[in-house]
Structure 1
Amino acid sequence: MNQSRQQPRPMAIELPTGTDPQSIRRRIETMEYMLERSFRIPGINYAVGLDSIVGLVPVVGDVITAAMGAYIVWEARNLGLPKWKLWRMAGNIVFDTALGAVPVAGDAFDLVFRSNTRNLKIVRKHLDKHHPETRTIEG
């Protein structure tokens, strides 16, 4: 009796580990999605991510989400973005972290100011110009 057992499918997202622009783009897009749009608030159908949720924890939450945002800047550096773009991206994270650290008002600010989405936009614009083969069709 030869019964084949089906292995459960992993629920994790498989990310490319390469250093090519396409792999880096996928990792940055995934990180941005997790930080900014991975959950929906029931009733109002508003997308939020770990940045807004973890940011509710005073100080520690803001430090964690800043570090995760800094990963996007680090990956952008690996793509060869000019220093002024990297500084702009870092400025977005610092601004988000500083205002997000303010009790209550900072948590509301985190819902509307999406530094990681802004940084992804900078990376996409660079890649679309310098590495057009990495473009993806968004639906």
Structure 2
Amino acid sequence: MKNNLSFEKEKRIRELRWVEQVSTLLDSKFKVGGFRFGLDPLLNFFPILGPITTFATSVLLVLVMFRNGVSSKAAVKMLLNTIFDAIIGSIPVLGNIFDFFFKANKRNVKILKEHYHDGKHEGSAKGILTVLFIVLLTLCIFLFYLLWLFGEWIIGIIAH
């Protein structure tokens, strides 16, 4: 039993080290002057394929962390970082600039370390998911309202 636990611990350490290495490659591997950047902003210069590749890699990193015992709260925070990075990063020009400064994978490794070393981000993600659901629902209602107003405006133009 002790040998099995030792193997599991070594496996977790290997996988978490791999997560850190890939995060560094994506976010801060290269240095020009005093500025660090990784493959993430460079790959985003290739439309569609670049952002999909970096997003998929970032999600894979979160899944590896989750598989190694990160709480659902920490995993949701990491996924939100990754999704935010992917959405803003997909905006032409602005997204390319954004990707040089917002380092989602490094932020996720920080959450991981805080989870394991400081005991932060423990527990369920229900609170975060509830707030996110309410915000998205409110946004959808607002957008439907704007669409309704736009439709009335178009009908008013056509009717006159």
Work out whether the TM-score is over 0.5: yes
Q: 32-41 vs 90-99, which deviates more?
A: 32-41
Cα deviation, residue 129, structure 1: 4.3
Asked if 1 retains the 8 angstrom alpha-carbon contact of 2:26 and 2:39, the reply is: yes
TM-score by length of 1: 0.74
For residues 19 and 102 of structure 1, the distance between their equivalents in structure 2, rounded to whole angstroms, comes to 40
Alignment of 1:1-139 (within 5 A): 20-41=11-32, 44-129=33-118
Deviations 1:22-79 (A, max 9, x none): 11221111011110111123xx331111111111111211110001111210111111
The one-letter code sitting in structure 2 at the alignment partner of 1:23 is R
For residues 93 and 54 of structure 1, the distance between their equivalents in structure 2, rounded to whole angstroms, comes to 15
Quote the RMSD (CA, aligned, Å). Answer: 1.6
For residues 125 and 24 of structure 1, the distance between their equivalents in structure 2, rounded to whole angstroms, comes to 17
Cα deviation, residue 105, structure 1: 0.6
Q: Runs of 4+ in structure 1 displaced over 3 angstroms?
A: none
Q: Secondary structure at the match of 1:75?
A: helix
Larger radius of gyration: 2
The one-letter code sitting in structure 1 at the alignment partner of 2:21 is T
TM-score by length of 2: 0.65
For residues 125 and 25 of structure 1, the distance between their equivalents in structure 2, rounded to whole angstroms, comes to 13
The share of aligned pairs that are identical, in percent, is 27
Q: Work out the number of aligned pairs and report it.
A: 111
